[in-house]
């Protein structure tokens, strides 16, 4: 027994060893590998094929299979019953091929039913999938979530796929360029480790866990960067999903191409009962382009959308808004249900076209074979109320109300509707009755009844198996203005049309117009015609008369052309609502389709038309005459036009084409606002290409240097590519600009040498003094550009060794200079990269870089650093500052997008100082800092001191905000300070405490609000400079700059408070000024004020010193230049008090002289001027009183000056004379150099004659000849 046991053990051990040896042989040897692969191949199901051309390595790895091909054939299930291949008519085939598959498995995990691939590589593969036989079903939660059920647990730590194309029945789905990542999956769970996919549909990345077996536990992060045409920003999306079946949160964000934010929250409360989940969706997209997301053509105007949905299961409450351009659709609170193959609206309410559309109904897409009688039935009612369109300019709007009902099944349905269209009090009625199935609709009735007549349409429209139609339309007084507001009328006629869209073969159609008549746009209408279309061949004839216009066209377009159009005449106003002018003559094309002869005899005048509200085109006169054969005999075609407006204004345009199209001589002469362009050349056809030579080219802009072609330039065009040999233009200002083009293959090469900066002077903004800019320097340009869709590809380099700007030729120094300027830009189809560097004004520097894309949604990334120790260039921006000094340092960053840029960084102005001679100020110790914030705005903080060695002046503080957000203005400033010296001249020394806020926004008035307190000031009235206003009879006929509309309008609301130390001196007044006033100015309105200013002190008038007892200037929301006066000045002589009262408004003052006790005005005036009654006055004093009475009768100096200006005098009123003192007089400047004046003394008797003559160089001679003495003086004045 023991031996038996030993023998059995030995046999078992041998069998184990043999089995191990067999396993080792299978997985470690080539023979074992071949045996295993043969077994796998032999055990494949019927209809499944697996083949390869070569295998390398054992099964245990690494093993490489070459030229793998796998085909799996199967049959779709019959309901719930599976069908084995080949027991079906249309088997479903899956085909997989790969040039190379490499795997490196770990065999030990197979014992635990786990397949572990340490590495797997796949290259040059394709996968073709069959059509899905599963019918469409509305999604259900959580059934829409994928299940994970691999036959074996799988772990692949290093997956590499290169070039895998996936298609469905030959139609491409996605082309995977590369896949990298790791995967760990089992029954009911999967973990994805940084799975990166690069494909023709975009770049995708997925990372996280998903476990359906664990209550659908999810923790996934996914990103996508989708492709976009060149010049467009690529959409970017990021998705985060976390939670489980009880609570799942999904967030989606990115740029599509504008910002997108969406959140979805799903909550299931009773998991064991599979209760309907509660969910909430919120989405906001500022610029959504579905074309970019779907990989199609982008929209010209992206959509802006907001959506809010709250649901339970398939029932939901919906609200949102969708905007594109000027069209907005608002979804009012509505109820929808998408559940169990049922789409139900109860109701759906949409506001659009200034009206409302309401949809009620239910569509069941379930199987009609089910017992439920509602299965497969459709019932919908759509009601529209108050829809409006048109209504522009003088055209009345059309208001529509409609009711539409759809009922039946997909195989047998009916649509019935009624609508009313109201326009300008008239109503049209629309009736629709149609029957259809899944392939076509029979139009029983489509009738429109209106006050002018009817339109009836009958026939059939099909969409399966091909698109086709057979329609008959009868018009009897039909008014198209209800649908096209610019085309009202009453049209009669009959139109029939049949056709189909063939594949292949294209469109085949026949349209016949019979007896078209009636009126259109209040013009008689008559016409008939027919058109036949057969693929690329067109044939027909049309005769149309509308108003005074008549057009006849006939011909055939196929392999050959025979087309003629006759205008007898064509008045554009007849056929285009917003057009004018007349076109008359004929045009014909005959010959081969690709080589026709052109004959024309056309004249036009007063032509104008528009494509939009902003794009309008016009031609005063135009003619096109001649015959230009394609080949053979020579011909000539001449175009002449005047008054052309087509983006650029041309006074005259002349184009002459001589010879044949195949051998053409061309001369062009155009002159207009841009200057004059003259060119001449010749072009010939050589095979399928065109080549020629540009002999001359001269461009003389209105402003700036002229350009001329240095030598003839050869060119060539083959239909898709053009070639221009190197050609150079020489500038009259110096330098050359050369171009070499091979378009679009190689692109465009541009190089400019020794181009003077003076070439850009005409395009710089005009200087305030009207003088030209004086520029120094030369630039060099090197550029290579190639088109790439809506973008460019290439490089641009602009360099300049040095340059500068001076104010005048006599200036010794330049106010701005630079050296080593270099601008480099690199263009890619998806982005732009640029750098700029220069040394500025001595040892300062500027360095900048920028990276962005081509459209408004492109990300913006850039920075600029600047360091300047010379600030003389600030004089360019203000003529009031002299020799500014300080240091400017800064580093500014840019982020956001081109449409919404964001600032970062900071800018610092340190130790700033400058002189302001006009105010007698020296500004010093200025420090201003700009600090950018993360929201794209920037704060401004700074302080500045003023004075002339007097440290008593307080600082002027500046706080502000700078930004481009839609919520606020670009610039807001808060200027405040205490006891700031604001003027220190002989005529005005003032200290102020401002608290002012300034708001500046593009296209809006500058807003200034706040308070200015003036605690102290000294005003010398006689030294204040006056201004000279333009006479009322002056009319400006030709302003220097018609486009200059002056400074930005001002919106001012400023309170002014005068302190106790505001002193006045001059013109006989020594006193003080106090009080408060509020000044208000609005754009387009006169400045007004409210408040009161008080004047106190002594005033010398009528030769005597008067005490101001009461002095008020008042405003009550009245013009600031016309206050109400309430002034009393008195003189006390013993028991007599004499005085003068001034009332009324400044524009019409009322002056009264009085005395107490009361006496006559002459005696009261005598007390004022002499200090005693009139009876005691001497003869000379009586003359003085006569002069004073004359002044009083004139209403004072103010009124006198007004009278003087009306009669042409330069001066009239109170004046100062060196011989007589105060006088009342008049003066007139007889020439620019000679002035004559005459005055009567207001202090004593006497008159004076004054003559002033300007010698030049600041010198003038002044002579005064008076009744008592004469004086002469030689004066010299120097202005600083």
Confidence band for 1042, pLDDT divided at 50, 70 and 90: very low
CB 124 within 8 A of CB 165: no
Instruction: Say if residue 438 is in the same domain as residue 529.
Output: no
Vertex 197 angle, CA 196 and 202, to 5°: 125
Q: Give the pLDDT confidence score for residue 1037 in this predicted structure.
A: 45
Instruction: Say if residue 174 is in the same domain as residue 219.
Output: no
| Length of the chain (residues) | 1280
CB 998 within 8 A of CB 1010: no
Structure tokens at 278: 């509660």
CB 905 within 8 A of CB 930: no
Is residue 1055 a part of any domain in this protein?
yes
Least confident range from 445-459, 635-649, 1110-1124: namely 1110-1124
- End-to-end CA separation in angstroms for the chain: 136
Cβ neighbourhood burial of 839 (10 Å; 0-12, 13-18, 19+): middle
**Structural domain containing residue 159:** 46-199
Confidence band for 272, pLDDT divided at 50, 70 and 90: low
How far apart CA 583 and CA 623 sit, in angstroms, is 9
Of the candidates 237, 238, 245, which has an alpha carbon nearest to the alpha carbon of residue 220? Answer: 238
Count of the separate structural domains present in the chain: 7
Longest dimension (CA), the chain: 177
Q: Please state the rounded mean pLDDT for residues 328-338.
A: 93
Is residue 384 a part of any domain in this protein?
yes
pLDDT greater than 80 at residue 949 = no
| The dihedral formed by the CA atoms of 790, 792, 793 and 798, expressed in degrees to the nearest 10 | -170
Q: Give the pLDDT confidence score for residue 373 in this predicted structure.
A: 61
Quick check: bond before 744 cis, omega within 30? yes
Of the candidates 839, 832, 841, which has an alpha carbon nearest to the alpha carbon of residue 793? Answer: 832
Instruction: Say if residue 353 is in the same domain as residue 480.
Output: yes
Q: Please state the rounded mean pLDDT for residues 895-906.
A: 83
Q: Which CA distances in Å does 52 have to 58, 70, 121, 201, 941? A: 15, 9, 16, 30, 76
Is residue 960 a part of any domain in this protein?
no
Domain final position from 173, 199, 225: 199
Instruction: Say if residue 1147 is in the same domain as residue 1086.
Output: yes
E strand or H helix at 253, and its extent? strand 247-255
pLDDT tens digits for range 1166-1199 = 776 666 676 555 555 555 555 555 545 444 444 4
Is residue 884 a part of any domain in this protein?
no
pLDDT greater than 70 at residue 1242 = no
pLDDT greater than 70 at residue 622 = yes
How far apart CA 1198 and CA 1123 sit, in angstroms, is 13
Number of H helices, E strands in the chain: 7, 73
pLDDT tens digits for range 395-419 = 778 899 999 999 998 888 999 999 9
Q: What percent of the chain has pLDDT over 70?
A: 83
Instruction: Say if residue 39 is in the same domain as residue 55.
Output: no
pLDDT greater than 80 at residue 509 = yes
Confidence band for 1041, pLDDT divided at 50, 70 and 90: very low
Q: Give the pLDDT confidence score for residue 1031 in this predicted structure.
A: 44
Instruction: Say if residue 668 is in the same domain as residue 538.
Output: yes
pLDDT greater than 60 at residue 1046 = no
Domain final position from 1142, 1177, 1212: 1177
More confident residue, 10 or 758: 758
pLDDT greater than 60 at residue 188 = yes
How far apart CA 1251 and CA 1238 sit, in angstroms, is 9
Q: Please state the rounded mean pLDDT for residues 2-7.
A: 65
E strand or H helix at 1184, and its extent? helix 1179-1193
pLDDT greater than 50 at residue 570 = yes
Q: Give the pLDDT confidence score for residue 686 in this predicted structure.
A: 83
More confident residue, 175 or 1045: 175
Average pLDDT, whole number, for the chain?
82
Quick check: bond before 1035 cis, omega within 30? no
Instruction: Say if residue 448 is in the same domain as residue 483.
Output: yes
Confidence band for 1044, pLDDT divided at 50, 70 and 90: very low
E strand or H helix at 42, and its extent? helix 30-42
Residue that the structure tokens 């609301």 belong to: 1053
pLDDT tens digits for range 848-875 = 999 998 888 888 899 999 998 888 777 7
Q: Give the pLDDT confidence score for residue 1020 in this predicted structure.
A: 78
Is residue 975 a part of any domain in this protein?
no
Residue that the structure tokens 């009711």 belong to: 403
pLDDT greater than 80 at residue 746 = yes
What is the DSSP code string of 615-643?
-EEEEEEEEEEEEE-SSSS-EEEEEEEEE
Structure tokens at 594: 């690709």
How far apart CA 866 and CA 1116 sit, in angstroms, is 51
**Which residues does residue 788 pair with via DSSP β-bridges, in sequence order?**
791
Residue that the structure tokens 């992060």 belong to: 221
Instruction: Say if residue 1201 is in the same domain as residue 1125.
Output: no
Q: Please state the rounded mean pLDDT for residues 373-394.
A: 82
How far apart CA 324 and CA 139 sit, in angstroms, is 29
Confidence band for 106, pLDDT divided at 50, 70 and 90: confident
Domain final position from 1148, 1177, 1206: 1177
pLDDT tens digits for range 192-207 = 988 899 999 899 999 9
- For 158-187, give one letter per residue: b (16+ CB within 10 A) or e: ebebbbbbbeeeeeeeeebeebebebbbbe
Confidence band for 271, pLDDT divided at 50, 70 and 90: low
Instruction: Say if residue 1206 is in the same domain as residue 1104.
Output: no
Is residue 236 a part of any domain in this protein?
yes
Q: Give the pLDDT confidence score for residue 368 in this predicted structure.
A: 65
Confidence band for 951, pLDDT divided at 50, 70 and 90: low
More confident residue, 900 or 969: 900
Structure tokens at 38: 């043969």
Q: Give the pLDDT confidence score for residue 772 in this predicted structure.
A: 75
E strand or H helix at 330, and its extent? strand 327-339
Q: Please state the rounded mean pLDDT for residues 1239-1250.
A: 65
Q: Please state the rounded mean pLDDT for residues 78-105.
A: 83
Which sign, positive or negative, has the C-alpha torsion 916, 920, 922, 923? negative
Q: Please state the rounded mean pLDDT for residues 379-386.
A: 94
Is residue 1083 a part of any domain in this protein?
yes
pLDDT greater than 90 at residue 981 = no
CB 305 within 8 A of CB 288: yes
Of the candidates 264, 308, 250, 311, which has an alpha carbon nearest to the alpha carbon of residue 284? Answer: 308
Q: Please state at what angle helix 1179-1193 crosses helix 1196-1207, rounded to 10 degrees.
A: 70
Q: Please state the rounded mean pLDDT for residues 978-987.
A: 84
Residue 826, phi-psi category: left (phi > 0), alpha (psi -120 to 50), beta (remainder): beta
Instruction: Say if residue 1079 is in the same domain as residue 1220.
Output: no
More confident residue, 841 or 447: 447
Q: Please state the rounded mean pLDDT for residues 254-271.
A: 87
Q: Give the pLDDT confidence score for residue 767 in this predicted structure.
A: 67
Confidence band for 733, pLDDT divided at 50, 70 and 90: confident
Beta carbons within 10 angstroms of residue 79's beta carbon? 6
Q: Please state the rounded mean pLDDT for residues 294-303.
A: 81
Instruction: Say if residue 435 is in the same domain as residue 292.
Output: no
pLDDT greater than 60 at residue 561 = yes
pLDDT tens digits for range 456-500 = 999 999 988 889 999 999 999 998 888 887 788 899 999 999 999
E strand or H helix at 1204, and its extent? helix 1196-1207
Is residue 617 a part of any domain in this protein?
yes
**Which residues does residue 632 pair with via DSSP β-bridges, in sequence order?**
none
Instruction: Say if residue 392 is in the same domain as residue 460.
Output: yes
E strand or H helix at 264, and its extent? strand 259-267
Q: Please state the rounded mean pLDDT for residues 721-729.
A: 89
């Amino acid at each position: 027994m023991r031996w038996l046991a030993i023998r059995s053990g030995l046999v078992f051990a041998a069998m184990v060893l043999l089995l191990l040896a067999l396993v080792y042989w299978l997985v470690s040897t080539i023979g074992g590998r071949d045996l295993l692969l043969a077994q796998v191949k032999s055990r494949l199901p019927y209809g499944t094929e697996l083949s390869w051309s070569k295998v390398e390595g054992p099964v245990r790895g690494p093993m490489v299979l070459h030229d793998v091909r796998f085909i799996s054939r199967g049959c779709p299930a019959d309901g719930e019953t599976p069908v084995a291949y080949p027991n079906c008519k249309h088997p479903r085939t899956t085909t997989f091929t790969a040039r190379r598959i490499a795997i490196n498995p770990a065999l030990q995990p197979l014992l635990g039913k786990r397949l572990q691939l340490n590495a797997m590589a796949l290259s040059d593969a394709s996968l073709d999938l069959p059509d899905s036989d599963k019918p469409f079903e509305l999604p259900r939660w959580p059934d829409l979530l994928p299940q994970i059920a691999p036959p074996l647990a799988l772990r692949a730590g290093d997956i590499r796929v290169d070039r895998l194309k996936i298609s469905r029945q030959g139609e491409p789905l996605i082309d995977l360029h590369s896949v990298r990542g790791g995967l760990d999956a089992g029954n009911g769970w999967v973990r994805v480790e940084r799975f990166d996919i690069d494909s023709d549909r975009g770049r995708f990345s997925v990372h996280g866990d998903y476990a359906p077996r664990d209550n659908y536990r999810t923790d996934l992060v996914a990103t996508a960067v989708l492709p976009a045409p060149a010049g467009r920003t690529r959409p970017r999306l990021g998705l985060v999903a976390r939670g489980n079946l009880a609570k799942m949160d999904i967030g989606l964000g990115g740029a599509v191409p504008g910002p997108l934010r969406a959140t979805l929250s799903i909550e299931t409360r009773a998991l064991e009962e599979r209760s309907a989940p509660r969910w909430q969706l919120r989405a906001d997209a500022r610029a959504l382009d579905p074309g970019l997301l779907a990989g199609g053509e982008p929209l010209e105007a992206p959509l802006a959308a907001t959506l809010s949905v709250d649901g339970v299961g398939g029932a939901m409450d919906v609200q949102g808004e969708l905007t594109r351009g000027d069209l907005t659709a608002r979804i009012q609170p509505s109820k929808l249900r998408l559940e169990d193959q049922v789409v139900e609206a109860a109701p759906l309410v949409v506001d659009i076209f200034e009206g409302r559309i309401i949809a009620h109904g239910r569509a069941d897409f379930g199987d009609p074979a089910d017992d439920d009688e509602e299965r497969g039935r459709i019932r919908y009612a759509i009601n529209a109320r108050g829809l409006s369109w048109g209504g522009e300019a003088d055209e009345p709007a059309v208001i529509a109300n409609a009711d539409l009902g759809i009922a039946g099944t997909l195989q047998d349905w009916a649509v019935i509707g009624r609508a009313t269209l109201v326009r300008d009090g008239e109503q049209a009625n629309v009736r629709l009755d149609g029957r259809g199935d899944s392939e076509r609709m029979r139009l029983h009735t489509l009738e429109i009844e209106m006050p002018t007549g009817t339109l009836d349409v009958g026939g059939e429209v099909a969409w399966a198996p091909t698109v086709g139609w057979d329609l008959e339309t009868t018009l009897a007084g039909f008014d198209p203005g209800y649908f096209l507001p610019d085309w009202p009328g009453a049209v009669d006629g009959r139109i029939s049309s049949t056709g189909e869209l063939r594949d292949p073969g294209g469109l085949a159609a026949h349209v016949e117009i019979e007896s078209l008549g009636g009126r259109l746009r209040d013009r008689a209408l008559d016409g008939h015609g027919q058109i036949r279309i057969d693929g690329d061949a067109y044939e027909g004839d049309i005769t149309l008369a509308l108003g005074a216009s008549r057009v006849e066209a006939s011909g055939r377009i196929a392999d050959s052309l025979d087309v003629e159009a006759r205008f007898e005449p064509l008045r554009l106003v007849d056929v285009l609502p917003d057009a004018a002018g007349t076109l008359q003559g004929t045009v014909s094309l005959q010959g081969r389709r690709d080589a026709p002869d052109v004959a024309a005899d056309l004249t036009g005048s007063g032509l104008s038309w528009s494509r939009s509200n902003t794009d309008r085109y016009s031609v005063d006169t135009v003619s096109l005459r001649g015959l230009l054969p394609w080949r053979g005999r020579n011909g000539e075609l001449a175009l002449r036009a005047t008054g052309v407006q087509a983006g650029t204004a041309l006074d005259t345009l002349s184009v002459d084409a001589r010879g044949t199209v195949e051998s053409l001589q061309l001369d062009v002469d155009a002159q207009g606002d841009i200057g004059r362009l003259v060119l001449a050349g010749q072009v010939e056809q050589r095979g399928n290409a065109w080549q020629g030579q540009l002999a001359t080219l001269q461009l003389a802009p209105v402003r700036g240097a002229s350009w001329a072609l240095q030598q003839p330039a050869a060119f060539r065009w083959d239909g898709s590519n053009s070639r221009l040999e190197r050609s150079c233009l020489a500038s009259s200002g110096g330098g050359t600009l050369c171009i070499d083009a091979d378009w679009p293959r190689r692109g465009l090469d541009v190089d400019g040498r020794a181009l003077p900066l003076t070439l850009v002077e005409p395009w710089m903004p005009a200087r305030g003094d009207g003088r030209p800019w004086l520029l120094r320097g030369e630039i060099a340009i090197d550029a290579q550009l190639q088109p790439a869709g809506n973008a460019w590809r290439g490089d641009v380099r602009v360099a300049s060794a040095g340059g500068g700007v001076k104010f005048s030729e006599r200036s010794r120094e330049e106010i701005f200079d630079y050296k080593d300027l270099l601008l480099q830009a690199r263009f890619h189809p998806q982005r732009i990269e640029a750098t700029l560097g220069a040394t500025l004004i001595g040892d300062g520097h500027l360095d900048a870089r920028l990276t962005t894309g081509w459209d408004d949604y492109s990300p913006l990334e850039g920075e600029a650093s600047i360091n300047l120790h010379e600030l003389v260039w600030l004089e360019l921006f203000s003529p009031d500052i002299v020799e500014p000094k300080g240091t400017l340092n800064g580093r500014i960053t840019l982020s956001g997008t081109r449409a919404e840029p964001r600032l970062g960084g900071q800018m610092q102005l340190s130790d700033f100082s400058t002189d302001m001679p006009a105010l007698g100020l020296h500004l010093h110790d200025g420090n201003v800092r700009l600090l950018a914030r993360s929201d794209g705005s920037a704060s401004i903080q700074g302080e500045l001191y003023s004075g002339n060695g007097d440290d008593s002046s307080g600082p002027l503080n500046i706080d502000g905000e700078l930004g481009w957000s839609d919520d606020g203005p670009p610039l807001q400033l808060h200027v405040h300070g205490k006891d700031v010296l604001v003027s220190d001249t002989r005529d005005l020394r003032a200290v102020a405490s401002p608290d002012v806020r300034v708001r500046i926004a593009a296209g809006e008035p500058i807003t200034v609000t706040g308070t200015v307190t003036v605690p102290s000031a000294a005003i010398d009235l006689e030294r204040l400079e006056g201004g000279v206003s333009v006479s009322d009879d002056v009319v400006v006929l030709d302003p220097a700059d018609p486009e200059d509309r002056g400074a930005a309008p001002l919106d001012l609301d400023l309170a002014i408070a005068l302190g106790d130390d505001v002193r006045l001196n001059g013109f006989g007044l020594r006193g003080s000024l106090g009080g408060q006033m509020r000044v208000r100015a609005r754009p387009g309105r006169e400045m007004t004020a409210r408040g009161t200013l008080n004047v106190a002190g002594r005033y010398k008038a009528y030769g005597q010193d008067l005490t101001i007892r009461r002095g008020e200037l008042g405003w009550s929301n009245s013009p600031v230049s016309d206050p109400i006066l309430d002034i009393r000045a008195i003189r006390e002589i013993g028991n007599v008090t004499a005085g003068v009262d001034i009332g009324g408004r400044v524009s019409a003052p009322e002056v009264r002289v009085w005395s107490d006790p009361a006496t006559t005005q002459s005696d009261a005036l005598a007390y004022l001027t002499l200090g005693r009654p009139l009876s005691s006055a001497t003869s000379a004093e009586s003359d003085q009183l006569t002069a004073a009475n004359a002044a009083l009768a004139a209403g004072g100096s103010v009124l006198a000056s007004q009278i003087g200006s009306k009669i042409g005098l330069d001066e009239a009123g109170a004046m100062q004379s060196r011989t007589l003192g105060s006088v009342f007089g008049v003066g007139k400047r007889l020439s620019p150099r000679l002035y004559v004046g005459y005055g009567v003394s207001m202090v004593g008797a006497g008159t004076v004659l004054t003559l002033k003559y300007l010698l030049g160089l600041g010198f003038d001679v002044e002579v005064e000849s008076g009744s008592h003495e004469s004086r002469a003086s030689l004066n010299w004045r120097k202005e600083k």
